[in-house]
Amino acid sequence: MFDAPPDLAELDPDELEQALARLGAAPFHGRQIYRWVYRRGLERFDGMTDLSRPLRETLGRTLSFSTPRIAAREHSGDGTQKFVFGLADGRSVESVFIPDTPGMTFCVSTQVGCAMRCGFCLTGKMGLARHLTAGEIAGQVRVLARELHLQHRRFNIVLMGMGEPLHNYEATMKALRMLAAPSGLALTPRRVTLSTVGLVAGLERLAGEPWIPNLAVSLHATTDEARHALIPTSRTLRLADLVTACRRFPLKHRGRITFEYVLLDGVNDTAADAARLGGLLRGLRAKVNLIPLNAAPGIPFARPSDRQVDRFARSLAARGMTVSVRKSRGRDIRAACGQLILEGGPRRSHAQQAAALLDG
């Protein structure tokens, strides 16, 4: 059996230079190729006209090149767009484009499904089908940038689609390195937000990275009992330990950790919850992003009234917290936060998804 050729989509800049060196090509050709792939959206070697014809022919023989395929694209009345991506093995994931937020924002997936089993999220009901590769994560961004003509404009990325990024740590961080390459899309850490349910071991690894994105931690409860009921996989972790890990997390000048908090009617939206949340986060450089539940069939919770959401937000603000209430985007195309699920099994391409931007 012959080994499969290396996939260009899975190579970071150093790996691409090594692959080129084995072909007798100079390292600077790696930068040229990255520009073609990421800034111009080209997916074939014969169009890379600043490479010699012999090199292009050699690359075509010795490297493969995979790209997620757009299986469906829907437009919301508020400008949000939802993309269903078909993968090489027949599985699907979704990404969402959220314009005017005030920047342009891509919400991308890191896994097919999710193993965290949050009780208010349809994605968690899927379970985990598999991790995405680094090329599949970065590939969503490549295709979105090309389709939306944003390759030469600034945009933001939120890792808030299907999956828990820190559960797929190696591929997620490699994808970010690929997207940050100066010869590619040159994304900076301040334009990327990683959303996690709070895997402490992953947070500790992330804290030691040379390239650290913005951090958003999904809290969703103010007592261990309530959080363990809402997020079954959190049962081995105390809230106090998670908050301690957040206090140790390195922040840049004027940086903050965002704490995401899905508001569930009569479950975690009481005055006592607001008081406990303010106490848990006291002294942290933090912002609380309140997310009124996007109700959906199969979710056994209800959305609080706007009055109750406002009361909760004002209670936190009175305790000195910076608070925002996330506006749900794309609800008419099932592209609002927590609504993603691949119906009928992982090989069906039509889904109900996705996620909205972290304000600020």
User: Per the structure block, which two tokens stand in for 279?
Assistant: 């106490």
Length of the chain: 360
**In whole angstroms, how far apart are CA 26 and each of 19, 39, 44, 252?**
10, 21, 20, 37
Rounded CA Rg of the chain: 21
- Give the amino acid at 360: G
Catalytic residue ranges:
94, 337
Spatial separation of the C-alpha atoms in residues 345 and 218, rounded to whole Å: 26
Spatial CA neighbour of 96 closest among 336, 313, 302, 271: 336
Residue 284 is classified by DSSP as S
Provide CB contacts within 8 A for 133, sequence distance 6+: 10, 171
Angle at CA of residue 196, ends 192 and 122, nearest 5°: 110
User: Per the structure block, which two tokens stand in for 333?
Assistant: 């195309």
Task: Say if CB 213 and CB 192 are below 8 A apart.
Answer: yes
What pairs with residue 131 in β-bridges? 111
Spatial separation of the C-alpha atoms in residues 312 and 274, rounded to whole Å: 6
End-to-end, the C-alpha distance of the chain in Å comes to: 52
**In whole angstroms, how far apart are CA 204 and each of 17, 225, 244?**
30, 24, 11
Chain Cα centroid distance, residue 64: 26
**In whole angstroms, how far apart are CA 323 and each of 195, 278, 313, 315, 317?**
17, 11, 6, 10, 6
Residue 1 is classified by DSSP as -
